[in-house]
Structure 1
Amino acid sequence: MAGQTPGEKIAVLGLGYVGLPLALGLARAGFDTLGFDTDAAHIAALLEGHDRAGEVSEQSLRTTAARFSDDPADLADRSTYILGIPTPITAAKAPDLGPLRAACGMIAPYLAPGDLVILESTVYPGVTEEVCGPLLADESGLRLFDDIRLGYSPERVNPGDAEHALESLIKVISAQDGATLDRVEAIYAPVIKAGVHRASSIKTAEAAKVIENTQRDINIALVNEFSLIFSRLGLDTLEVLEVAGTKWNFLPFRPGLVGGHCIGVDPYYLTYRAEQEGYHPEVILAGRRINDNMGRHVVQELVKRMLERKINPSMARVLVMGFTFKENCTDIRNTRVADILTELRDYSVTVDLHDPWADAEAIRQEYGFDMTATPETGTYDAIIVAVAHHQFVEMGAKEIRALGRPGAVLFDIKGIFDKTEADLRL
């Protein structure tokens, strides 16, 4: 393929849900690949064949030709740097480009003329060329767009979803010019079996990525608002959606908590950039407000039902099942289950948290909550099934109810049980 460099030496920075599968894929495609992460403990675990996120098998790690390192000096001989760096938001819900800037600052001293830097992080339009590019040039002393080449190829990783793996999803690629785009394609095409899509510009690709998750966020916000309305009307939202779903073009979105690193975060990148241009988004931010308040709604509905059953919340013990942001994965970033726990404590409820997928120490450090390894049978006044882990689905409503006292309230947030089996559903 035009532009392919057989001797391309690639560094993938950030070995999380995005970077680690990509590093392994590049190595399988024959590229000299270095996986880099600043977390020394994570690197040590990978070298022992363990991915703490549970996304990559031990066999894949032990047989890969990719190397792993936390030593910045190992970045010195690379010709392409792919950044899979988290792009979170601040407490004020503004983009936090600190981790991305730090990564750019780390690789800058090792850049040589002709080196290629590709971002995979979700950003607002303009970050690659107007934020990262100048930083790389300033820190390296090289000329941007001449000595340093820029590309952007947004990730489409779905944690816990083996069906939609890296190789099976079309990869959007973009670059500063046609020749660089050919080079970017030569890197990704051998890895992505589903093929690549060449965007006309980096900003177009950045914009496309940020609206992918924003669109989903708004659609979930709409059905969450349906749930807020129907709870007041005494209707079962999931049943209403099922009936409406008999229409051929009705979209199958369901109510729920919107957490994780993408859907609950990316819209703020787009709204931030829009406001820089003097436009104040209305629909996007309205959707964000609805989704961010669903944890409070869950607790309010639970407390009302408890009071109906003469259960005093301040004397009650509640079990929350699941803490990760979605089912069957270990990712606890921006999980909205934390909102439920915080709100329950505001009602002076005694809360037990149980999640077979989550790391207890990580939860304690990041959120300040303790985990219960084994819930006690016949103990709880209410049980909230917050995440649809397969373990909970396999338990079934009857076994889960056995964890509660007689008359305990079962709130099935994810709708994994029939409406006759749960007292409350979103």
Structure 2
Amino acid sequence: MIEIRRTKSAELLAPLRAAVDSLQPVKELSALIENILSDVPTSQYAGCSAKIGYLLRDSKVPMYYPIAVTCLKNVVHKFQGQERLPVVSNLSYLSWKLKHFDDARLYGNEATILREEQAMRRGFTKRLVVFSLYGSDPAYCETLIINAQCMQEIYPGWTMRVYHDHTVPHHLIPRLTALGVECINVANINAGHFPGTFWRFLALEDDCDAVIFRDADSIINPREQRLVNIWLESDKPFHVMRDWYSHSDLILAGMWGVRHGLLAAIRIWMEKYVSQGNLHPTHADQYFLAEYVWPRIKPYMLHHSSVLDVFEAQWPEDLPRHYIVEGLNHCLGSWQLIERKPNTDKPYKIRILDENNHELCDYSFPAGKTFELPKSYHEAIESGRWRLEVTEQHLVSVSLPGGGQSMATVNVNRHKSA
């Protein structure tokens, strides 16, 4: 690093400033500069000579420009990396003013490259895998836990983020937070009026290098990781994936991504779309993406499609187009859930306990309601490693002090598994 001591430098350059202000002839000014530099320690010479060049450039006095160029050229080799930027930038300007166009181009090229390096270092670095969550269905809540546990393997260095509301189970947010997940309550960002599936799109308001959107009931995996890495290595700012014959929506809401902080106006488009009313009960997010996002990104996207050959679709030759596990096709965006039917006709509550008898989670359901668990949970329960408890919930009438009646829920632990 070039050493420049500001106080000492200011004292040394004071006579030079006075000479420039009084428009001293070039010969006298050159002699003064030579005298100033002769008193400067070797460690400060390059910095002081550069500051003289800057001072003469800023004077806007053309007769001093050749002296400024000499001062800067004599020491430019002493500067490395970003320290070279002000030197070569000033040399480019001065060379242009002196009509030395080859030098102006040479130094201008270097200054532009250095500025680009500077901008990229200050640029977007955060990468997000984003989900929406609302309600207390274990098919979504517990699959999110699995996704959080997979992050380090599938997306190392990325951050998982979940947009949620007050309807999620009491135990879920602390569990996600403990796994390093960013949890954002939509009430805190004025987003509760949007449909829940839209919330995740608000991650585009952040300055991020990459944001990918996923569904809470599907598990991130190496298959999608491969496609995302190919996208990141490309020059395309948008990514769209489809992996089955039914994936005919223009953008599947849980299978796309954006780079470089683009689409930051997403909230404005969401407001316009939602204000129209008559939203589809299950696919409004994908209809919104088709109307507001697809026309903007189509020319600039990398499109991966395993079976539908449209929109310049690509697919890696060494990645199977059908991912078969135990006879079942596991396409991207699919879920791995097992339905369970409790042996009760009453409202009930389930508790899942691990091999150490620690409670992992609990959920309540109305009478007759079945529930789904992630396949890995089902297997852990069936193998006896985990335990599923089902507790019936009965409403009973109770007497209040001073008279009167009220209804209360009584848990009856009649079923140990479901």
Name the TM-score, length of structure 1 as normaliser.
0.29
More strand per residue? 2
